[in-house]
Structure 1
Amino acid sequence: MISAIISTYNRERFLNGLFESILNQSISKDDYEIVIVNNNSTDRTEQICWQFMADHPDVKCSYFVETKQGLSYGRNRGIEESNGDLVTFLDDDAIIAPDFFEKTNHFFDAYPTVNAMGGRILLRYMEEKPAWYNPFIAPILGYFNPGDKQKVFSNNYFRGSNMSFRKVVFEKHGGFDVRLGRKAASLYGNEEKELFYRFKENGEVMWYVPEAVVYHLVPIERTTDEFVRRQAIGIGKSERIRTLSLGKAKWYFSVFKELLKWAASFGIAAFYLVTFRYAASRIIVKFRAWVSKGLIFRYD
């Protein structure tokens, strides 16, 4: 059985869409469960979840409140409360393809020694695509699409909107680092990156499986400069926390890589500038500056 873990915080307007996509799965309802972890929401999340469970008594669904604030706390609580031998983490602002559970189950059946996988994440704009859109910045909106072929993750790693595991791997290597990940309205991250590299260092081989597809919803407010700024600074801050926890040398190396990314960013920005895509050129430079600010400078 697969346990679909949803750690949610103040996303009342998205939850019913996610629930509907779960109900439309191609596998039997007997073969999955939903584990909802409410991470101190102040909106109508609780009422919506209880209503869903009342309307669908045929679906195995459990509901918990995690009072320790943070997405990593919520995900770890979901792991503890889950009953399946497989766990998948569903974002509360995403929907899953109708065969998502089927494809996930099929992969783990076909590769019994593999304990972790991640899939493709495509975007669905709720209003309009931003003028600055380009593939280099799209990942901050949730986009993740390394191609059409299954392959072992090497330098890349799975993303939080689409990652699935054998539950036993958490018993072996531990769960998400609670210092990282979003906490309430903050836009910290890197908990998936930290988890991936910790698992990899412990000998786990993890795969990219493009057939398992998730659609990440993009409301208009996530396309503004202010959202990009907060997200980019959060990325930088999170990488600072992650690398410093491994030693100063790791942080220095991360800063060095950031300098290389600056060189690439200037080249990409120049290309967009000469091809008259001014919004894309501008956001490339701003994004890099905001990430660097979070990575290099220590501040709250």
Structure 2
Amino acid sequence: MIDFTVAICTYNGEKRVPDVLDRLKQQIDTEDINWEIIVIDNNSNDNTAKVIKEYQNNWNFSNPIKYYLETRQGLAYARRCAIKNCQSELIGFLDDDNLPSQNWVKEAYIFGKQHPNAGAYGGQIHGLFEVEPPPGFERIARYFALIKGDKTYCYNEKYKDTRKKMYPPGAGIVIRKKAWLESVPEEPLLPQTNEDLEMLSQIFNQGWEIWFNHLMEIEHFIPQSRFEPEYLKKFFRQNGLCRYQVRMFNYSNWQKPFITILYFINDLKKIIVFYIKNKKNLKKDVVCMGEMELLRHILMSPFSY
């Protein structure tokens, strides 16, 4: 019987996955945990498969490494492959740029056993930057899956008002297999960059608890390219255009027309206020530019849908 699964989802990760596996070699206090590592190769066209094979051949640890190929492109499909093939009830998801702390497996497993109603839970995510982030980056850090905190809390209780509801980032998220199977459909509804929101909204709406466990910590590597203006525009454009669908997860069909109008008015107000406050910085401040792109496409999201 496997107690815990670490699922590494990767695309063209031949240079990144080794760092994640090396961190997993260093896990401490796991002697009483029967855990496995599965690598989901999301249709890579580099040497990812070869690298994993080499690790399997030289792996001198009791927890095995298993390899699966998922040819359907997208993190949502890679996660579905992991859920299908894992042997445990608790699955800790790591991207190929997520480096877990030495006690991550232990803390993730213990928390899941202590909180049987937790359908999903995440922890602290610290940025590991290739270059210094631009000024004001802290305003958009959460969109880069970065979060800190010194207390554990349940999102269901902290964000009771669905209009203000937040979720932990998908990097380093632990999912209870039963919660996934009861909540998440076989085919994702939203495009990439929003699969985390979709997954957690569905689990939340089925009555499962979602938690932040401050004892779980990972580092998230962020390359210089993520701060390029064109990348930020595309990134926030995609996030914005999916906002309507994410919001509507929380409402019944009869409510949606009225809620859509209220959101539209509020979103338009936000754009006007933001533009007046930041119009001088929109062309030279990449963070402001990204925020404006997000607000514009949130406003457009009902029409995109």
- TM-score, normalised by the number of residues in structure 1: 0.84
Change in 2 beyond 3 A, CA 1:299/1:263 = closer
Matching residue of 1:44: 47
**Aligned with residue 133 of structure 2, among 126, 130, 133:** 130
Matching residue of 2:215: 211
Where does structure 1 lack aligned partners over 5 or more consecutive residues?
A: 183-188
Change in 2 beyond 3 A, CA 1:121/1:171 = same
Conservation of the 8 A alpha-carbon contact between 2:118 and 2:208: yes
Is 2:13 aligned against 1:20? no
CA distance in 2, matches of 1:259, 1:279: 17
Change in 2 beyond 3 A, CA 1:134/1:116 = same
Matching residue of 2:150: 148
Conservation of the 8 A alpha-carbon contact between 1:12 and 1:48: yes
Change in 2 beyond 3 A, CA 1:254/1:67 = farther
Matching residue of 2:119: 115
Conservation of the 8 A alpha-carbon contact between 1:176 and 1:191: no
The alignment partner of 2:138 has SS state of: coil
Conservation of the 8 A alpha-carbon contact between 2:99 and 2:219: yes
Change in 2 beyond 3 A, CA 1:105/1:281 = farther
Matching residue of 2:240: 236
Conservation of the 8 A alpha-carbon contact between 1:240 and 1:294: no
For residues 194-233 of structure 1, the C-alpha deviation after alignment (integer angstroms, 9 at most, x for no partner) is: 2222222221121111111111001111121122111111
Conservation of the 8 A alpha-carbon contact between 2:236 and 2:290: yes
Change in 2 beyond 3 A, CA 1:136/1:260 = farther
**Aligned with residue 174 of structure 1, among 184, 187, 190:** 184
Identity %, equivalent residues: 20
Conservation of the 8 A alpha-carbon contact between 1:268 and 1:281: no
CA distance in 2, matches of 1:41, 1:243: 33
CA distance in 2, matches of 1:261, 1:3: 42
- TM-score, normalised by the number of residues in structure 2: 0.83
Matching residue of 1:185: none
Q: Which amino acid aligns with 1:132?
A: P
CA distance in 2, matches of 1:181, 1:299: 12
Q: Which amino acid aligns with 1:78?
A: A
Change in 2 beyond 3 A, CA 1:214/1:262 = farther
CA distance in 2, matches of 1:139, 1:116: 18
CA distance in 2, matches of 1:86, 1:263: 45
Conservation of the 8 A alpha-carbon contact between 1:134 and 1:280: no
Between the two proteins, the alignment pairs up a number of residues equal to: 286
Where does structure 2 lack aligned partners over 5 or more consecutive residues?
A: 160-164
Q: Which amino acid aligns with 1:122?
A: H
Conservation of the 8 A alpha-carbon contact between 1:37 and 1:64: yes
CA distance in 2, matches of 1:240, 1:115: 24
Change in 2 beyond 3 A, CA 1:168/1:210 = same
Change in 2 beyond 3 A, CA 1:202/1:213 = same
CA distance in 1, matches of 2:186, 2:214: 24
**Aligned with residue 78 of structure 2, among 74, 80, 101:** 74
Change in 2 beyond 3 A, CA 1:149/1:244 = closer
The alignment partner of 1:28 has SS state of: coil
The alignment partner of 1:36 has SS state of: strand
CA distance in 2, matches of 1:237, 1:142: 19
Conservation of the 8 A alpha-carbon contact between 2:40 and 2:70: yes
CA distance in 2, matches of 1:28, 1:253: 54
CA distance in 1, matches of 2:126, 2:283: 20
Change in 2 beyond 3 A, CA 1:166/1:264 = farther
Matching residue of 1:262: 271
Matching residue of 1:223: 227
The alignment partner of 2:67 has SS state of: strand
CA distance in 1, matches of 2:147, 2:273: 20
Change in 2 beyond 3 A, CA 1:139/1:114 = closer
Change in 2 beyond 3 A, CA 1:252/1:164 = farther
CA distance in 1, matches of 2:24, 2:191: 24
CA distance in 2, matches of 1:8, 1:71: 8
Which range moved further: 246-255 or 229-238?
Answer: 246-255
Matching residue of 2:198: 194
The alignment partner of 2:121 has SS state of: strand
CA distance in 1, matches of 2:32, 2:87: 14
**Aligned with residue 85 of structure 1, among 89, 108, 111:** 89
